[in-house]
Amino acid sequence: MNLTNTSHPGIHQEDASDHSLIPPCQNACPLHMDIREYVSLVSQGRIMEALQVIRMGNPFPSICAYVCTHPCEESCRRAQVDKPIAIRSLKRFAVEFGGDRMIRTEAETKYSDKVAIVGSGPAGLACAYYVKKIGYPVTILEAHSDLGGMLRVGIPQYRLPREVLDTEIQRLTHMGVEIRTNTRVVSLDLLFELGYKAIFITIGAHQSLRLGIEGEESPGVIDGATFLREVNLGIKPSLGRRVMVAGGGNVAIDAARTAVRLGVKHVSIFYRRTRSEMPADPQELEQALEEGVKIKYLSTPVRIDRENDRLKMTCVRMELGEPDESGRRRPVPIKGSEFTKEFDSLIVAIGQAPQTPSDFGVRIGRGSTIQVDPSTLTTNRTGVFAGGDAVTGPATVTEALAAGRLAASRIDDYLQHRYPLPVKETNEKLSGELLPKTIEMIRKIERSEPLSLVGETRVKDFETVEQVYGWEAAINEARRCLRCGVGVEILFQDKCATCLTCLRVCPYHVPRLDNTGNINIPADQCQACGICVAECPAKAIVLRKPFDRRQVSEELTHTIKLATESKNKPPIIGFCCQYGLFGTGTLSRLWRGAKAGVTIVPVLCVAKVEANHLLSAFETGAEGVFIAGCGEQCARENTTYWVKQRVEKVRKVLRSIGIEPERLQVFTLGTAVADPTEELDRFIEQISALRLSSVIKEEAIS
Amino acid sequence: MIVAEQKSLEEIRRMIAPYPRVLILGCGTCMTVCNAGGESEVSFLHNSLRLAEVRSGDGIHTFTEHTVKRQCDPEFLETLSEKTIDVDVILSLGCGIGVQAIAEYLGDIPVLPGVNTSFMGMTKESGVWDERCAACGECRLEDTGGICPITRCTKGILNGPCAGTKNGKCEANKDVDCAWILIYKRLERLQQLDKMRRYYSPRNFRAIPRPRRILSKVEIATGESDG
CA nearest to A646 within chain B: B44
Mean pLDDT, range A97-123, rounded to an integer: 90
Which domains are delineated in chain A?
14-103+434-478 (1.10.1060), 114-204+357-415 (3.50.50.60), 207-353 (3.50.50.60), 488-543 (3.30.70.20), 552-701 (3.40.50)
The predicted complex's ipTM stands at: 0.88
CA-based Rg of chain B, rounded to a whole angstrom?
A: 23
**Cβ of B10 and A656 within 8 Å?**
yes
Among the ranges A679-683, B42-46, B223-227, which has the highest mean pLDDT value? B42-46
Please check whether residue A656 touches B, CB under 8 A. Answer: yes
pLDDT in tens, B24-37: 999 999 999 999 99
Please check whether residue A618 touches B, CB under 8 A. Answer: yes
Residues B20/B62, Cβ–Cβ less than 8 Å: yes
- So what's the pLDDT on residue A19? 45
Provide the shortest C-alpha distance from residue B75 to chain A (in Å): 16
- So what's the pLDDT on residue A15? 38
A658 contact residues in B (CB cutoff 8 A): 55-56
Contact residues, chain B to chain A, C-beta under 8 Å: 8-10, 28-29, 32-33, 35, 38-41, 43-44, 47-48, 50-52, 54-56, 69, 123, 125-126
pTM: 0.85
Provide the shortest C-alpha distance from residue A697 to chain B (in Å): 15
**Cβ of B10 and A658 within 8 Å?**
no
Range name among A113-127, A440-454, A641-655 with the lowest pLDDT average:
A440-454
Higher pLDDT: B204 or B170? It is B170
Mean pLDDT, range A394-422, rounded to an integer: 91
Between CA A583 and CA A576 the distance in angstroms is 8
Residue A29 sits at φ, ψ, to 5 deg, of -75, 125
Q: How many CB pairs under 8 A join A and B?
A: 71
A538 contact residues in B (CB cutoff 8 A): 28, 32, 38-40
Please check whether residue A659 touches B, CB under 8 A. Answer: yes
Res. A340 pLDDT band, cuts 50 70 90: very high
**Cβ of B33 and A497 within 8 Å?**
yes
Nearest to A349 by CA among A175, A480, A142, A210: A210
pLDDT in tens, A180-239: 999 999 999 999 999 999 999 999 999 999 998 988 998 999 999 999 999 998 888 889
Q: Quick check: A51 pLDDT over 50? A: yes
- Domains of chain B, residue spans: 2-119, 136-197
Mean pLDDT, range A293-318, rounded to an integer: 92
pLDDT in tens, B144-181: 999 999 999 999 999 989 999 999 999 999 999 999 99
Res. A431 pLDDT band, cuts 50 70 90: confident
Q: Quick check: A569 pLDDT over 60? A: no
Nearest to B31 by CA among B78, B72, B82: B72
Q: Quick check: A84 pLDDT over 50? A: yes
Q: Give the CA-trace dihedral at A470, A473, A475, A478, to 10 degrees.
A: -120
Please give the DSSP secondary-structure letter assigned to residue A370: B
Residue B200 amino acid letter: Y
Res. A362 pLDDT band, cuts 50 70 90: very high
Mean pLDDT of chain A: 86
How many angstroms separate the Cα of A407 from the Cα of each of A373, A378, A402, A631, A687? Answer: 11, 9, 8, 49, 63
**Most A-contacting residue of B7, B11, B27, B47 (CB-CB within 10 A), to test interface:** B47
B5 contact residues in A (CB cutoff 8 A): none
Q: Quick check: A254 pLDDT over 50? A: yes
Q: Quick check: A465 pLDDT over 50? A: yes
Q: Which long-range contacts (CB under 8 A, 24 or more apart) does B86-89 make?
A: B86/B21, B87/B21, B87/B22, B87/B23, B88/B19, B88/B20, B88/B21, B88/B22, B89/B16, B89/B19, B89/B21, B89/B22, B89/B23
Between CA A354 and CA A366 the distance in angstroms is 11
Residue A74 sits at φ, ψ, to 5 deg, of -65, -35
Share of chain B above pLDDT 70, in %: 97
Strand partners, A214: A303
- So what's the pLDDT on residue A17? 39
pLDDT in tens, A2-38: 333 333 333 333 333 344 678 899 999 999 999 999 9
Q: Quick check: A583 pLDDT over 70? A: no
Residues A213/A399, Cβ–Cβ less than 8 Å: no
- So what's the pLDDT on residue A293? 95
**Cβ of A539 and B47 within 8 Å?**
no
Between CA A100 and CA A552 the distance in angstroms is 31
**Cβ of B48 and A495 within 8 Å?**
no
Q: Which residues have CB under 8 Å from A427's CB, separation 6+?
A: A20
Between CA B166 and CA B178 the distance in angstroms is 8
Give start and end residues of each alpha helix (H) in B67-132.
Answer: 80-83, 96-105
Among the ranges A139-143, A557-561, A575-579, A682-686, which has the highest mean pLDDT value? A139-143
Between CA A301 and CA A221 the distance in angstroms is 12
pLDDT in tens, A649-673: 999 999 999 899 999 998 876 554 5
Q: A585-618: string of b/e by CB count within 10 Å (b at 16+)?
A: bbbeebeebbebbbbbbbbbbbbbbbbbbbbbbb
Burial label, A290 (beta-carbon count in 10 A; 0-12, 13-18, 19+)? middle
CA nearest to A614 within chain B: B47
Q: Quick check: A611 pLDDT over 60? A: yes
Cross-sheet strand order for the sheet of B62-68: B62-68, B21-27, B89-92, B111-113
Range name among A482-496, A585-599, B20-34, B114-128 with the lowest pLDDT average:
A585-599
Q: Quick check: B39 pLDDT over 90? A: yes
Please check whether residue A542 touches B, CB under 8 A. Answer: no
**Cβ of B126 and A505 within 8 Å?**
yes
Share of chain A above pLDDT 90, in %: 53
Range name among A578-582, B61-65, B175-179 with the lowest pLDDT average:
A578-582
Query: Which of B33, B52, B126 is facing A657, going by the closest CB pair?
Result: B52
Provide the shortest C-alpha distance from residue A610 to chain B (in Å): 10
B12 contact residues in A (CB cutoff 8 A): none
Between CA A693 and CA A684 the distance in angstroms is 14
- So what's the pLDDT on residue A241? 92
Q: Which CATH number fits domain B2-119: 3.30.1140, 3.20.20, 3.40.50, 3.40.1010?
A: 3.40.50
